[in-house]
Amino acid sequence: MKKKNLKKTQKLKIMAALLSGGMLAVLSPNAAYALEGTADNYTVTITDGMNITEDVYGNNGNIVADKGYVIGHVQMTGGIVEGNIYGGYYPTNRDANGNYVKVAESTVTISGGEVIGNIYGGRGKRGSSSWTDARDAVDNKVYITGGTIKGNIYGGYDGSRIDPDMPEEDYPKHEGVARNEVWLAGGKIEGNVVAGQYEDPYSSASRILNNIYLTGNADVSNAVLKGSTMIGGKVETGNNLIVDGWSGTEIKNIEHFHSIIFENIDLNKGKLLEVTDSITRNNFLTGPNESTKIYVNSVKGGDYEEGLLKKTIQWDDEMNLEHRFSSIDEAFAVVISDDLKKGITGYYYGNRENNGIFINHFTNLKADDSYPNDSQIEFTGTVDKTVLAGAYVDENDEKHGNTNNTSWNTSDDITYLTIEDGLKTNASVVTGVYAVGGKNASGGKTYINGNYDGTVFAGYAEDNGSTEDNYIYIGNGVNAAGTKLLGNNKKSGKSGATLEVSGNGNKLNSIGRFDNINFNKVTLNGGTVLKVTDADLDGTKVNVKTLASGPVYHEGDRVTLLNSQNAITGNVENIGINDDIVQAGVAQELTVSASQSDANNIDLTVTSVKLSEQTNLVAETRAASVGLLNQGTDLIADSINTISRDGKYGVKTFAAVYGNRSKYDVADDVKINGWSTIVGVGAENEHNGGDFSWGVFYENGSGNYRTYNGFDNELFRGDGSIVYNGGGIAVRYENSHGVYTEGSLRAGMLKNEADNALFCGETGYGYETESAYYGAHIGVGKIWQLGDNSELDVYGKFFHTYVEGDTVHIAQDKFDLDSINSDRLRIGARITNNKENKFSTYYGLAYEYEFNGDADMRAAGMKAPTQSLQGSSVMAEIGLNYQPTPNSPWSFDLNMRGYTGERQGGSFNVQATYTF
Neighbours of 447 (CB within 10 A): 20
Confidence of residue 227 (pLDDT cuts 50, 70, 90): confident
Q: What is the pLDDT of residue 278?
A: 74
Q: How many CB atoms lie within 10 A of CB 688?
A: 9
From the list 738, 746, 747, the residue with the least C-alpha distance to 778 is 746
**29 pLDDT more than 70:** no
Distance, in Å, from the CA atom of 229 to the CA atom of 194, rounded to the nearest integer, reads 8
What type of residue sits at position 417? L
Q: Which of 24, 76, 84 is nearest to 50 (CA)?
A: 76
Q: Answer with the residue of higher pLDDT: 116 or 717.
A: 116
CA distances to 338, 343, 380 from 365, in Å:
12, 5, 6
Give the residue-averaged pLDDT of 682-694: 88
Name which of 660, 700, 694 is nearest 679 in CA terms: 700
Residue 789 has, within 13 A of its CA and on its CB side, a CA count of 9
Contacts of 381 (CB under 8 A, 6+ apart): 308, 309, 343, 344, 362, 363, 364, 365, 366
Q: Which CATH number fits domain 617-915: 1.20.140.10, 3.30.40.10, 3.40.1360.10, 2.40.128.130?
A: 2.40.128.130
In this predicted structure, which of 183-192, 705-714, 756-765 has the lowest mean pLDDT? 705-714
Percent of the chain at pLDDT exceeding 70 = 83
Residues whose CB falls within 8 Å of the CB of residue 422, separated by 6 or more in sequence, listed in order:
450, 451, 452
Report the candidate in 564, 555, 594 with the shortest Cα–Cα distance to residue 578. Answer: 594
Tell me how many degrees the CA angle 661-666-671 measures, rounded to the nearest 5.
20
Q: Do the Cβ atoms of 815 and 806 come closer than 8 Å?
A: no
- With beta carbons less than 8 A apart as the criterion, state whether 23 and 39 touch: yes
Looking at residue 331, what is its pLDDT? 65
Provide the 3-class DSSP secondary structure of residue 635: helix
Instruction: Calculate mean pLDDT across residues 262-291.
Output: 77
pLDDT band of 627, cuts 50, 70, 90 = confident
**Least confident window among 9-18, 296-305, 401-410, 665-674:** 9-18
Residue 661 has a pLDDT of 84
Report the pLDDT value the prediction gives residue 302, as an integer from 0 to 100.
96
Kindly tell me if the per-residue pLDDT of 327 is higher than 50.
no
Written as one string, the DSSP assignment of 53-106 is -S-EES-B----SSSEEE--EEEESSSEE-S-EEEEEE-TT---TT-EEEEES-
- Cα(18)–Cα(29) distance, rounded to whole angstroms? 13
pLDDT, average across residues 418-443: 97
Over 80: is that where the pLDDT of 860 sits?
Answer: yes
Distance CA(238)–CA(304), nearest Å, equals: 34
690-713 pLDDT, tens digit per residue, is 899 999 999 999 988 876 666 556
From residue 562, alpha-carbon distances to 521, 553, 582, 730 in Å are 14, 20, 18, 67
- Residue 128: band (very low, low, confident or very high) from pLDDT cuts 50, 70, 90: low
215: confidence class by pLDDT, cuts 50, 70, 90:
very high
Distance CA 511, CA 489 (A): 13
Whether pLDDT at 132 is above 60: no
Evaluate whether 623 touches 662 at the Cβ level (below 8 Å): no
pLDDT in tens, 86-98: 888 877 544 433 4
CA dist 274 and 8 (Å) reads 46
Q: Does residue 398 or residue 637 have the better pLDDT?
A: 398
Of 329-338, 459-468, 846-855, give the lowest mean pLDDT range.
329-338
Beta carbons of 350 and 264 less than 8 angstroms apart: yes
More confident residue, 798 or 640: 798
Rounded to whole angstroms, the Cα distance separating 96 from 707 reads 59
Task: Report residue 201's pLDDT band, with 50, 70 and 90 as the boundaries.
Answer: low
Residue 565 has pLDDT above 50, yes or no: yes
Q: How far apart are CA 455 and CA 509, in angstroms?
A: 9
pLDDT at position 200: 61
Domain ranges of the chain: 415-611, 617-915
Instruction: Assess contact for 357 and 315: CB atoms under 8 A.
Output: no
pLDDT of residue 773: 97
Continuous segment of H or E residues that includes residue 631: helix 616-643
Q: Output the pLDDT for position 903.
A: 85
Report the first-to-last Cα separation within the chain, whole angstroms.
49
Mean of pLDDT values over 818-828: 95
